[in-house]
Structure 1
Amino acid sequence: MERPPIDTGLVRRLVDAQFPQWAGRALKPVEPAGSDHVIHRLGDDLAVRLPRHSGAIHQAQLEFDWLPRLAPHLPLPIPVPVAVGRPAADYPWHWSVSRWLDGEVATVAEFGESVEAAVALADFLHALQGLPGEFPAREDRPLALRDAETRAAIAQVAGVFDAPAMTAVWEAALAAPAWGGEPVWYHGDFHVGNLLTRNGRISAVIDFGGLGVGDPARDMMMPFTLMSASTREVFRRRLGVDDATWTRGRGWALATGLNAYCSYAATNPRVAAATTRQICEAIAG
């Protein structure tokens, strides 16, 4: 994927040229940023996010259109975009400015055994799934469409993880009954790296680039990236997840974990550790 060079100088030029009302504000890079965006804090109350690669270029407009509508109905804060920047001569894509959300990125060490966190996240999904399913035309990609790439990834990492066990989880997910209910809202990338915390509690859910409507199994990544076996059970009971959705959710957790591991583990130790845990927990169930 195309990856244009991004530094603070570029962000400064874009903000000053397109949003002169913010030209005098301090600009500071945020680390660690995500794999999809370079993030800068703009003054005290705004965040600037520039996609790193072409796979994330539609997120700015998606979030601008929908997050302000969803935010008032959710029990945890989410980003509220306030502007979408245009492509420029030295940067090819749309980018965004959102309200700053204070907090630190959640960790398994702090929240993996937290019943309170498991309940809060289940309640967040319950509220999200309960919102009306209006959404612009966008295809909900079934799990089966990831079959070839997931089997290739299993083969690629067979020397690192238990290939027969991964294959069993994957085939069970493909064989599970499809979602039979009405399509529901899903976050689409619901994992520990997209949680902020303050004062020992989950304080916000961020990064809605995968937002859509369809199968709630898409959001079963969180139990396998953050929680232990016991808190996963708390989360599952609280949300009322049926066996088929849980089985499909393990498949989503495995597939997305493998994709990120194969893409980033060799160059990013933080991603390597997080996705190793995700894959192992998906295997464990």
Structure 2
Amino acid sequence: MPTAFLSGSLPNSSWGPVRKIRGTSVHHAARARGVPVPAPVRTAGGQAWADDEHGVPWTLLEFLPGRPVEPVTSHLAEQAAARLAALHRLPDHLDTDAAAAAGVRVVAPDTAWDRWLTAPDQTWHEVAAVAGRHRGLLNAYRIHLDRLHHRTTDTAVLRAPTGQVWGHGDFHGHNLLHRNGRISGVLDLDGVGRRPRITDVAYALLMLARAGSGDYRLNPRLLRSIWTGYQSNAAAPLTPAEASGAWAAMLLSQLPDPAHLDALARTGRGLVPALARPLAALRDLAAQRTRLTGLLLAEETTP
């Protein structure tokens, strides 16, 4: 019977001391507010993580009972969205003992999510340098990147400097647990950071409402359940501008991350799956923009 999870990161990734403290702080703050995230188990020295011989930080997390949320039902989708809204209600500043001891105030920005918006040419060159002989796959992203930058109205809410929350960053069925008809765990807060809440909500819509693995046709019933669960539990309801930006946020979530690809390459892992899988989502999203945006905006006006 397992008693704990191990959480780590790829070598040469960006897990510095501030990010370690930030992740631990979010765990504690979320648990204090009833979000079922696993508690870090401290070392004999009182730390919530330990570095291995390669400098990779590892955290021992308590075991949470339950099974991954797959298949996704309307009931579980609505509950999952409520948990996401609770995470988004965490205060902007997370002052903990670990942060105070390190002289850190935990409000560090997370800028990686918006690189394709703010520096698309530089990001393209960085990804191309890592992709190497797989540049043919990378070239298939060009049309989707162009679509993103042509939808300036849709991306306006993503570029706004205000309204950011502590976002999960990877909110999908295998990072959620359910037991006895309830969401019993929210896992993998390694990607937590400050970002517009619609980026998290949009990714949850994409991953929890898709028809199945590799099939990103979105189920309207599940979309409504997720939207309702979030709206009913958010600190403030999502706005029509955020609803209009959901499709762009979904598209943005599927563009390649140069840091992740570089970490995969350094550990000898193949880049083809990491470059090929998101293209299926992008193709399906391209055909659903009008219907998706219309559905979400209709939910906004439903009494």
Give TM class, smaller chain: 0.5 to 0.7
Cα distance between partner residues in 2 of 1:140 and 1:179: 14
Distance change in 2, residues 1:213/1:260 (3 Å): closer
- The Cα of 1:156 is off from its aligned counterpart by 5.2
Cα distance between partner residues in 2 of 1:85 and 1:131: 22
- In the alignment, which of 138, 147, 154 is matched to residue 168 of structure 1? 147
- The Cα of 1:158 is off from its aligned counterpart by 7.1
In the other structure, the counterpart of 2:240 is 243
In the other structure, the counterpart of 1:130 is 89
Distance change in 2, residues 1:280/1:77 (3 Å): farther
Q: Residue 61 of structure 2 aligns to a residue in which SS?
A: strand
In the other structure, the counterpart of 1:139 is 109
Cα distance between partner residues in 2 of 1:213 and 1:64: 15
What's the TM-score, normalizing by structure 1? 0.65
Residue 118 of structure 2 aligns with an amino acid whose one-letter code is L
- The Cα of 1:77 is off from its aligned counterpart by 1.5
Residue 45 of structure 1 aligns with an amino acid whose one-letter code is T
Distance change in 2, residues 1:87/1:61 (3 Å): same
In the other structure, the counterpart of 2:29 is 69
Q: Does 1:44 align with 2:2?
A: yes
Cα distance between partner residues in 1 of 2:38 and 2:67: 14
Unaligned 5+ segments in structure 1 are 1-42
Q: How many residues are treated as equivalent by the alignment?
A: 236
Instruction: Say whether the 8 Å CA contact 1:60–1:96 is kept in structure 2.
Output: no
Unaligned 5+ segments in structure 2 are 43-47, 95-105, 129-134, 210-217, 232-236, 290-303
Q: Is 135-144 or 63-72 further displaced after alignment?
A: 135-144
Q: Does 1:254 align with 2:251?
A: yes
Instruction: Say whether the 8 Å CA contact 2:87–2:167 is kept in structure 1.
Output: yes
What's the TM-score, normalizing by structure 2? 0.62
Q: Residue 118 of structure 1 aligns to a residue in which SS?
A: helix
- In the alignment, which of 5, 11, 15 is matched to residue 53 of structure 1? 11
Q: Residue 54 of structure 1 aligns to a residue in which SS?
A: coil
Residue 51 of structure 2 aligns with an amino acid whose one-letter code is P
- The Cα of 1:272 is off from its aligned counterpart by 7.0
Residue 93 of structure 1 aligns with an amino acid whose one-letter code is V
Q: Does 1:194 align with 2:185?
A: no
Greater helix share, structure number:
2
Cα distance between partner residues in 2 of 1:175 and 1:55: 28
Cα distance between partner residues in 1 of 2:178 and 2:280: 20
Query: Cα RMSD over matched residues?
Result: 3.8
Cα distance between partner residues in 1 of 2:39 and 2:193: 17
- In the alignment, which of 41, 44, 60 is matched to residue 97 of structure 1? 60
